[in-house]
Amino acid sequence: MAELAQNTADISMIPAEEKLISPWKENWQSFYTNKLAVIGLGIVIFFIIIAIIAPWIAPYSYKDVVLVDRMQAPSSKHWFGTDDFGRDIFSRVLYGARISLWVGFFSVLGSVVVGTFLGIVAGYYGRWVDTIISRIFDIMLAFPSILLAIAVVSVLGPSLQNALIAIAVINIPNFGRLIRSKVLSVKQEEYIMAARAVGMKDARILLRHILPNSVSPVIVQATLAIATAIIEAAALGFLGLGAQPPMPEWGKMLADSRNYITQAPWTLFFPGMAIMLTVLGFNLMGDGLRDVLDPKMKQ
Please give the Cα distance from 299 to 258 (Å, whole number): 48
pLDDT of residue 26: 65
pLDDT of residue 5: 47
Find all residues with CB under 8 Å of 214, minimum gap 6, and list them.
120, 179, 182, 183, 186
pTM reported for the whole predicted model: 0.82
Q: Per residue of the chain (299 residues), give pLDDT as tens.
A: 455 445 444 444 545 444 445 556 666 667 677 788 889 989 999 999 999 999 999 998 888 888 888 888 898 888 998 888 889 999 999 999 999 999 999 999 999 999 999 998 888 887 888 899 999 999 888 888 888 888 889 888 888 889 999 999 999 999 998 888 888 887 777 777 777 777 777 777 777 777 777 777 888 888 889 989 999 998 888 888 888 888 888 988 888 888 888 888 898 999 999 999 999 999 988 888 877 766 555 55
Please give the Cα distance from 179 to 119 (Å, whole number): 5
Are the C-beta atoms of 118 and 169 separated by less than 8 Å? no
Task: Note whether residue 181 is domain-resident.
Answer: yes
Structural domain boundaries, residue 143: 35-297
pLDDT of residue 66: 83
Based on the structure, what is the number of domains in the chain? 1
The letter for the amino acid at 7 is: N
Task: Note whether residue 25 is domain-resident.
Answer: no
Q: Residue 225 belongs to a domain with what CATH number?
A: 1.10.3720.10
Q: What is the dihedral of CA 72, 74, 78, 79, to 10 degrees?
A: 160
Task: Note whether residue 14 is domain-resident.
Answer: no
pLDDT of residue 16: 46
Please give the Cα distance from 77 to 192 (Å, whole number): 65
pLDDT of residue 4: 44
Q: Determine phi and psi for 105, rounding to 5 degrees.
A: -65, -50
Task: Note whether residue 30 is domain-resident.
Answer: no
Please give the Cα distance from 48 to 53 (Å, whole number): 9
pLDDT of residue 171: 92
Please give the Cα distance from 46 to 106 (Å, whole number): 19
Are the C-beta atoms of 198 and 276 separated by less than 8 Å? no
Give the number of other Cβ atoms within 10 Å of residue 237's Cβ. Answer: 29
Peptide linkage before 23 cis (omega within 30 of 0) = no
Please give the Cα distance from 286 to 292 (Å, whole number): 10
Task: Note whether residue 241 is domain-resident.
Answer: yes
The letter for the amino acid at 254 is: L
pLDDT of residue 17: 45
pLDDT of residue 47: 93
Task: Note whether residue 11 is domain-resident.
Answer: no
Task: Note whether residue 219 is domain-resident.
Answer: yes
Helix/strand/coil (H, E, C) string of 154-193? Answer: HHHCCCHHHHHHHHHHHHHHHHHHHHHHHHHHHCCCHHHH
Task: Note whether residue 278 is domain-resident.
Answer: yes
Pick from 86, 83, 94: nearest CA to 59:
94
The letter for the amino acid at 241 is: L
